[in-house]
Amino acid sequence: MIRFLDIVLSSIALILLLPVLLLVAVILALTGERQVFYKQSRIGLQGAEFSLLKFATMKKDSVSIGGPLTKRDDPRVLPFGRILRATKINELPQLINVLCGDMSIIGPRPQIHAHFLLYDESVRSELIKIKPGLSGTGSIIFRDEERLFELIDGERDDIYASHIAPYKGLVEAWYVDNYSVFTYFLLIFLTIEVVVRPESKLYQKLLPTLPVPRGELARHFNN
């Protein structure tokens, strides 16, 4: 059923958003690094790797320059790329991944191999049971993930490995445990809600059984 919904919703979205997608593609082709799409290998269903599509928002070879994590005002992000990232428009090409069957509209966010290994083994075994998602609990809860690097002391890689990844893995696994058509549509609604209202924490009321953040993260999420 969910695969049918993925096909229908991604097809409708691609048709409705085609003017926006074409406009963004033209702008990217004429500005910055003149690169339209960015492809990156991510972990998908059953642990198989696939090429995730995004609109290019950063300078070429950015990962080799400063690693895969970004921060606010990251100098590697191009001016137009900042707009795309703030509005999440850079993620829209993943609708093609959904249509092709690599991803679902809702699911655990697909990680690069190195970040996937930061999850506990028990969490990893859960996440690969279903297709990764264009959005999901991780996307909603960590809508402003880059801000956490400013709130928690330490190096970015250490903050991600010690604080962010453990909790993100738990909330992503929560969706696998609560996988249903109802939860699928509820998370679509919450995704739209946090895009429109980035500071919203409505998910805390509508998803009361989510794992509770602890330590440094608890201070951020409880404010």
* 150 Ramachandran zone, left/alpha/beta (phi>0; psi -120 to 50): alpha
The answer to whether residues 164 and 71 touch, using CB atoms and an 8 Å cutoff, is: no
Q: Is 91 helix (H, G, I), strand (E, B) or coil?
A: helix
Domain limits at 159?
2-221
Mean pLDDT in residue range 147-169? 85
The answer to whether residues 77 and 19 touch, using CB atoms and an 8 Å cutoff, is: no
Structure tokens at 182: 């109802």
Q: What percent of the chain has pLDDT over 70?
A: 93
Mean pLDDT in residue range 46-61? 89
Q: Helix 181-196 to helix 2-30 angle, to the nearest 10 degrees?
A: 30
CA distance 110 to 41: 9
pLDDT per position as a tens digit, 62-86? 665 656 766 666 778 888 888 888 8
pTM of the model: 0.88
The answer to whether residues 53 and 44 touch, using CB atoms and an 8 Å cutoff, is: no
DSSP conformation class of 198:
T
104/142: higher pLDDT: 104
59/9: higher pLDDT: 9
In sequence order, which ranges of the chain are alpha helices (DSSP H)? Answer: 2-30, 62-66, 79-87, 94-100, 113-116, 121-127, 137-141, 145-151, 156-159, 165-177, 181-196, 203-206, 216-221
DSSP conformation class of 167:
H
The answer to whether residues 184 and 106 touch, using CB atoms and an 8 Å cutoff, is: yes
pLDDT at 81: 81
CA distance 70 to 161: 14
CA distance 75 to 78: 8
Q: How many domains does the chain have?
A: 1
